[in-house]
Amino acid sequence: MGNDPNAERDAILAALKPVVDGIAATFGPVCDVVLHDYRDPEHSVVAVAGAVTGRAVGGAMSEIGMRVLARGDEASDELNYVTRTRNGAVTKSSTIVLRDSTGAVFGALCVNVDVGAVTQVHGLLGALAGVGAAAPAELPTTTFGNDIDSVVDALVDAHRSQQRGSWAELDRAERVELFGGLDTRGVFAVRGAVEQVAARLGISRASAYNYLSRARAAHDTPTGGSA
């Protein structure tokens, strides 16, 4: 492969495509497996087997992928986390980052298992045994979309719902906090995301860049010591 990092990464992805089909076949229809190439975030899905999250080849990365992308080479595997898709399916998922021989992160292998049926059976057995079912835990909702715009929009809406009122009702600190939260989740690692967020919030592109700059400056400012 010489010194061409892209040739090496292409070879790794090609070797993993049969693994995608094999894992999905092993677990059956309750599982899907998605292979991502983060060199093209807007079309990161290069292989998929199964239909739990509704992904398709050529689709965009999810918000989980954005988070990995934002962390760069410091990203680590996220294993056995439980989340809920936007259509209500409860999944147990694992995201395994892919690295080339230099240690650079360039993609991920994601496994998603629909555990909703298992949860229903557990509740039924508990009812038959006369054991009261515990209240279900509130699960985070993950947006799995085949276009990057829908994922970015969902993240903006989620952050806005955590704050009071509309953008106009937020003070400067809350606006900076909103942009900082979106940045932490990797939204601005996607090409054109600043403009999209600005349009979603009804503000100018210049204002969006200003708040993003302030958020990053605040993140980099030490909390202790003298000024």
What's residue 50's pLDDT? 94
How does DSSP assign 138-166, residue by residue?
PPPEE---SSHHHHHHHHHHHHHHTSSS-
Stretch 198-213: mean pLDDT: 92
- What per-residue confidence (pLDDT) applies to 9? 97
pLDDT of residue 219: 77
Residue 23 has pLDDT above 60, yes or no: yes
Please state whether beta strands 105-114 and 31-37 pair in parallel, antiparallel, or not at all (unpaired): antiparallel
Query: What pLDDT is attached to residue 225?
Result: 37
Question: Which has more confidence, 129 or 21?
Answer: 21
The answer, yes or no, to whether residue 187 has pLDDT greater than 90, is no
Mean pLDDT throughout 53-61? 91
- CA distances to 119, 120, 133, 135 from 125, rounded to whole Å, are 10, 9, 10, 15
Q: Give the model's pLDDT for residue 145.
A: 66
- Burial of 5 from C-beta contacts in 10 A (0-12 / 13-18 / 19+): middle
* Burial annotation 22-56 (CB, 10 A radius, 16+ → b, else e): ebbeebeebbbbbbbbbeebebbbbbbbbebbbbe
Contacts of 56 (CB under 8 A, 6+ apart): 45, 48, 146
